[in-house]
């Protein structure tokens, strides 16, 4: 009787324990750089924390030059299946220019003269 009770309690405890799953990040830090190569000046001119919920996140341009470049901060590691898309439109409109980003620390360049980074959103599991 005691053995059955002990086994039943053990079974209940194992099934009631929370599973250990990796914590999902709530935002992706996108560094915005002045110029074309993510290497001008002492560092990025701003960092936009783009939510990982898939919503469109507007990025107010800081007009310090005629173009922007960007990269995801090295503090974030992309999980498999996560994509960050940056746009030169304010509403994540794919009719404008956009760049899909799937790794950190690589400069994703520019959209060209006068076309600043204006919005971003995530897709997949970030």
Break the chain into its structural domains and give their ranges. Answer: 23-123
| pLDDT, tens digit, 9 for 90 and up, residues 47-97 | 999 999 999 999 987 766 667 889 999 999 999 999 999 999 999 998 999
- Assigned CATH for 23-123: 2.60.20
At residue 6, does pLDDT exceed 90?
A: no
CB 96 within 8 A of CB 114: no
Distance CA 53, CA 39 (A): 29
- Helix, strand, coil percentages in the chain from 3-state DSSP, rounded to 5: 10, 30, 60
Distance CA 30, CA 99 (A): 13
């Amino acid at each position: 009787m005691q053995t059955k009770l002990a086994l039943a309690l053990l079974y209940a405890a194992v099934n009631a324990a929370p599973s250990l799953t990796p914590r999902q990040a709530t935002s992706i830090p996108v560094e915005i750089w002045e110029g074309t190569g993510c290497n001008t000046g002492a560092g990025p001119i701003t960092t936009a924390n783009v939510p990982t919920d898939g919503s469109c996140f507007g990025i107010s341009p800081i007009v310090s030059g005629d173009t922007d470049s960007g990269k995801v901060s090295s503090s974030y590691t992309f999980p498999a299946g996560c994509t960050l898309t940056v746009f030169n439109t304010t509403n994540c409109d794919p009719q404008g220019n956009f760049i899909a980003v799937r790794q950190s620390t690589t400069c994703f360049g520019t959209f060209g003269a006068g076309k600043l980074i204006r919005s971003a959103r995530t897709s997949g599991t970030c």
